[in-house]
Amino acid sequence: MSEEQNHIIRPYGDTTGDGMVQLSFTLPMPHSKVAEGAAAQLANKMGMDPALVVHAKPMGPDFTFFVVYGRVNHLVDTSKVEVVERDYPLLSPKEANLAIRKGLRRRLTVVGACIGTDAHTVGIDAIMNIKGFAGEKGLEYYRELKVVNLGAQVSVPQLVERARQEKADAVLVSQVVTQRDAHILNTREMSAAFRESYPAAKRPLLIVGGPRFDETMSEELGVDRVFSRGTTPGEVASFLVHRLVEKRAS
């Protein structure tokens, strides 16, 4: 077999090169011969030929569920696969705790708040509360993180002062309300205040998050990282470890 052929592959059912796949889906129509034909047609259009509709089950009067097996004619070229790598590894809580314990030899302190008039603590709570978000536990769950959640409507001077008191390694700010670009203005005010009151080398890591932020804006906002909609606590914890533990160690 030549080099080239090695990275051209097909799905494997029970024989090399058979190209067999399985598929399940629902069509919004009552079960009938036509419905089964429609399922086969969809499978054909997806590149399955022949397509075997092995199971069709009515779900109520208006829907039918199908399981289809068949051979796909597509080839996959593994040399042409492109993946976007996150620039830091995703850690489990256990791994994050271990990294902090080994690398920092103390707990890592995170102070979080919603600043300005924003009363929506949903974002900061999803990340910080032990309850967490999207099936992941929040930062409070991490034994090696000391989490101080200041809640809503915290002023920038209050936040700076508390960060100093707690000797915060990182400050997390959530902004949900975006009227008149409040989230942008508040964030800039916050990052400027931290720059003013800390020498550059001592400043805590500044992280801002919210559903309407653009993740590429960190420089413009003067923060170290911007997280957008759908960010999970694990991603934030992994980033903290990456920037505060691993970089320090190396």
Partner 1 sequence: MTQPGKLQLDPATVRQARSLAEKVGKPIVELAQQHTTVAVERATLRLAGLEGADADGIPWVNRLLDCVRADLGLEHGVALPVWDALVRGEADDLPTLAQKASAGSVRFRLPEGKEATRAKAASRKQVAAGVRRIDVRRAERDKLIKKHGDAPRKPWIYLIVATGDIYEDIPQAQQAAREGADIIAVIRSTGQSLLDYVPEGATREGFAGTYATQENFRLMRAALDESSKELGRYVRLTNYASGLCMPEIAALAGMERLDMMLNDSMYGILFRDINPIRTFVDQRLSRQIHARAGIIINTGEDNYLTTADAVEAAHTVTTSQLLNEYFAKEAGLEDWQLGLGHAFEIDPAVPDSFRLELAHAMLARDLFPDAPLKWMPPTRHMTGDVFRGYLLDGFFNLVGALTGQGILLVGMMTEAVVTPWLSDRDLALQNVRYVMDSAGKLHEDFRPEPDGFIANRARQVLGESIDLLDRIVDHENGLLDAIADGTFGLMKRPANAGRGLDGVAKKSETYYNPASEILEVES
Which residues are catalytically annotated?
Answer: 131
Show the tokens assigned to 176.
Answer: 């949900």
Q: Which is nearer to partner 1, 174 or 191 (CB)?
A: 174
Q: Which residues contact 161 (CB under 8 A, 6 or more apart)?
A: none
In whole angstroms, how close is the CB of 121 to partner 1 at the nearest point? 6
Secondary structure class of 45 (helix, strand, coil) = helix
H/E stretch holding 23 = strand 20-27
Burial class from Cβ neighbours inside 10 Å (0-12, 13-18, 19+) for residue 238 reads buried
Q: Residue holding tokens 């900061």?
A: 124
The edge-to-edge listing of strands for the beta sheet with 20-27 is: 20-27, 63-72, 48-59
Indicate if the alpha-carbon torsion angle 48, 53, 55, 56 is positive or negative: positive
Q: Which is nearer to partner 1, 63 or 88 (CB)?
A: 63
* Residue numbers at the binding site for partner 1 (CB under 8 A): 24-26, 57, 59-60, 63, 65, 120-122, 125-126, 129-131, 133, 135, 137, 140-141, 143, 149, 151
Q: Which is nearer to partner 1, 121 or 231 (CB)?
A: 121
In whole angstroms, how close is the CB of 141 to partner 1 at the nearest point? 6
Cα–Cα dist 223/206, whole Å: 5
Q: Which is nearer to partner 1, 121 or 238 (CB)?
A: 121
Q: Which is nearer to partner 1, 210 or 222 (CB)?
A: 210
In whole angstroms, how close is the CB of 191 to partner 1 at the nearest point? 25
Burial class from Cβ neighbours inside 10 Å (0-12, 13-18, 19+) for residue 166 reads middle
Helix axes 93-104, 233-241, angle to 10 degrees: 20
Q: Which is nearer to partner 1, 137 or 203 (CB)?
A: 137
In whole angstroms, how close is the CB of 11 to partner 1 at the nearest point? 17
Cα–Cα dist 91/113, whole Å: 24
List beta partners, residue 136.
133
In whole angstroms, how close is the CB of 182 to partner 1 at the nearest point? 17
In whole angstroms, how close is the CB of 139 to partner 1 at the nearest point? 12
How many residues comprise the chain?
250
